[in-house]
Structure formats: structure tokens, C-alpha cells
Structure 1
Amino acid sequence: AGIDLSALKVLDGKICWDLYIDGLVVSSDGDLLDALGAAVK
């Protein structure tokens, strides 16, 4: 599943969003990517 990336297009004259998320991990006792994914949701 997921998002069809070919359907995402930026059109001339339109506004779009650009989102960056930085994660600082102080301690990791488990799966790092799962923890960051849960924090972003």
C-alpha cells in the first residue's frame, strides 16, 4: 500500500508544502525507526 508517488505533482502557480522532521534520540533500547515513526504520527 502507501502513496502513489507518481500522482504527487507540483503545478506552476500553485502552493505546496514542504515538511521536514528532525528527531533527537537520547536513548534507544528497542527499534529506533518504530519509535520515530510513532512520534511523527
Structure 2
Amino acid sequence: MERRDPITNVPTDDGDVPVYLPGTPTLSFVRTIERAIDMLRR
């Protein structure tokens, strides 16, 4: 069975293209931060 990335569900066998870099915020985390900034501006 091929290994898949737990977040993007992309096969991790291609070592050339790191789809998800460790330490990179996920999209939902970025949206949460943007909402918090938006609330602080009001």
C-alpha cells in the first residue's frame, strides 16, 4: 500500500515535489487567523 500524506491525501512517494511542508499552516488554520484579524479590526 502506498503511503499518503495525512492532510492532502496525496501519495508521498514522489520525493521531488513536497506537496505539504511540515510546519506550514493548513488552509483552515489560515482562515481562522484571518477571521481573528478581521474581528480585531472592527
TM-score interval, normalised by the smaller of the two chains: under 0.3
- Whose RCO is larger (CA < 8 A, sep 6+)? 1
Q: TM-score normalised to the size of structure 2?
A: 0.26
* Length-normalised TM-score, structure 1: 0.27
